Amino acid sequence: MRHCREQWQTAGPLRAFGIRVGDDEALAGTIDLRFAAEGLAPGQVNVAYGLYPSWRGAAWPPARSSWYAASEGGKEAVIRVEPENAASAAVAQRAGFIPGKHTHGEDGTRLDWYIRDPGIDTQRRPRSPKPA
């Protein structure tokens, strides 16, 4: 939590959010936007998310956060998924991300990239995400 707070206060490369849903704003998971990470080109923003088990299949966090990436100068949102993780690939595609290139992570694991122009969402701004 301290690291996330410091990143917000110092305009660091990480923005962490809590995913809240429903009228009671129940915490359904988290989402991180990384404006600098290994393998990213300038202007690319890595989107990573996790939903708690009871919320899986019910929320679509990547699309709701891509407008924020655009507002902070992001030109392309990227989700990197291990090929065996069909559920995460499906979430990325439902959120409007399209298949891109294939790379390998630091540990040699293959990663499929899904990309999206984050500016697509700037015309219809959803309710702002809440910092974690």
Condensed to tens digits (0 to 9), the pLDDT of residues 6-27 reads 888 888 898 888 888 888 888 8
- Judge whether 10 lies within some domain: no
- Judge whether 26 lies within some domain: no
- Judge whether 39 lies within some domain: yes
- Judge whether 25 lies within some domain: no
- Judge whether 96 lies within some domain: yes
The tens digit of pLDDT for each residue in 32-80 reads: 899 988 889 999 999 988 888 888 776 565 655 655 666 677 888 899 9
Residue 95 CB-density burial (10 A; 0-12 exposed, 13-18 middle, 19+ buried): buried
- Judge whether 119 lies within some domain: yes
Domain range for 73: 35-126
- Judge whether 48 lies within some domain: yes
Calculate what percentage of the chain has a pLDDT beyond 70.
79
CATH number of the domain encompassing residue 43 = 3.40.630.30
The tens digit of pLDDT for each residue in 80-118 reads: 999 999 988 988 888 889 999 999 888 888 999 999 887
Q: Give the number of domains in the chain.
A: 1
